[in-house]
């Protein structure tokens, strides 16, 4: 009698490593990967076991618990995005992702500094490196993570462009480089070389050691300290500089589709939000009432 062949059982799947590989293949940035892993880990803690064994009802209960705990809609939607990727791509269980509900919510208007406030903020920085970093955020409209990830080789002085590699969504783009910003970056390059922290192929804004870039948290502290020193009462973050860049361009008459490209927005509707805070643009519009009043005054005037 033939002895049955023993088939070895498959090795257990490391879901965390598999998810990381899936995110790497799709070019997800480090922050997105960190956030997605954190959210899936939170879901695993809720289950008390591997998230790979979740049921549709448990997915629903997880969202109900989040809502009952008062989690804001944007945070809940971030959880939906992470879990939807995990269920659909890593687990190949799209049936679970159908239980996830994305919430709609009114978008807040972005906080914007006036040109005078922006000048005071930059003047309040304590060193050339910080002033140059904040000037890049405002002068090129970069996200704080994009500023931190810049290398010296990303500055293209011949074409007057800043190369942004793997921005949000893993997309590359070119940002604008003004003559004044280039002059400031050259001054920082010269000072950084004298300090021994700058190399031709190194980070544009090194951190505590030249081998690592400045952290986004450090840049946030720099902005907050400068705003406090400049006595700006508004809540200011690094993203406020990006908002101000877009709004000031819009107020200066730059086409909104050009601004969309400079910001790296995938959808025009995201850029269109700045039309609601471009007060100078609103003030420049002539009200139809003014035209009617002019006509009324002309008719009321005595004839010759």
**Catalytic residue set:** 143, 168, 239, 242, 265, 274
Please tell me whether residue 86 adopts helix, strand or coil conformation.
Answer: helix
- Spell out the alpha helix ranges (H) of 86-163: 94-97, 115-123, 128-139, 144-148
Say if CB 154 and CB 162 are below 8 A apart.
yes
Q: Residue 164 belongs to what H/E stretch?
A: strand 161-164
Euclidean distance between CA atoms 116 and 151, whole angstroms:
30
Please return the burial class of 299, using the count of CB atoms within 10 Å of its CB with bins 0-12, 13-18 and 19+: exposed
For tokens 């107020």, the residue is: 251
Which value, to the nearest 10 degrees, does the dihedral of the CA atoms of residues 211, 217, 220, 224 take?
-120
Euclidean distance between CA atoms 71 and 101, whole angstroms:
14
């Amino acid at each position: 009698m033939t002895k049955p062949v023993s088939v070895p059982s498959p090795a257990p799947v490391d879901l965390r490593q598999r998810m990381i590989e899936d995110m790497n293949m799709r070019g997800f940035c480090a922050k997105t990967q960190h956030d997605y892993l954190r959210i899936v880990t939170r879901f695993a803690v809720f289950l008390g076991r591997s998230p790979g064994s979740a049921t549709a009802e448990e997915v629903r209960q997880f969202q109900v618990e989040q809502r009952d705990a008062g989690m804001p809609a944007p945070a809940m939607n971030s959880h939906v995005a992470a879990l939807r990727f995990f269920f659909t791509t890593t687990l190949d269980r799209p049936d679970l992702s159908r239980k996830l509900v994305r919430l709609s919510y009114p978008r807040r208007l972005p906080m914007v500094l006036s040109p005078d406030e922006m000048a005071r903020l930059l003047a309040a920085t304590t060193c050339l490196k910080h002033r140059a970093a904040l000037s890049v955020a405002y002068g090129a409209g970069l996200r704080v993570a994009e500023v931190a990830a810049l290398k010296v080789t990303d500055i293209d002085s011949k074409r007057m462009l800043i190369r942004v590699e793997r921005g949000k969504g893993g997309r590359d783009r070119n940002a604008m480089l003004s003559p004044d910003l280039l002059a400031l970056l050259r001054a920082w390059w010269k000072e950084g070389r004298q300090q021994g922290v700058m190399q031709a192929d190194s980070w544009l804004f090194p951190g505590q050691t030249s081998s690592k870039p400045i952290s986004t948290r450090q840049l946030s502290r720099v902005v907050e300290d400068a705003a406090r020193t400049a006595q700006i009462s508004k809540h200011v973050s690094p993203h406020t500089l990006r908002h101000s860049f877009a709004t000031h361009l819009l107020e200066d008459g730059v086409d909104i589709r050009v601004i969309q490209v400079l910001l790296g927005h995938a959808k025009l509707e995201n850029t269109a939000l700045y039309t609601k805070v471009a007060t100078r643009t609103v003030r420049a519009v002539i009200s139809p009432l003014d035209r009617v009043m002019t006509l009324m005054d002309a008719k009321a005037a005595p004839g010759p």
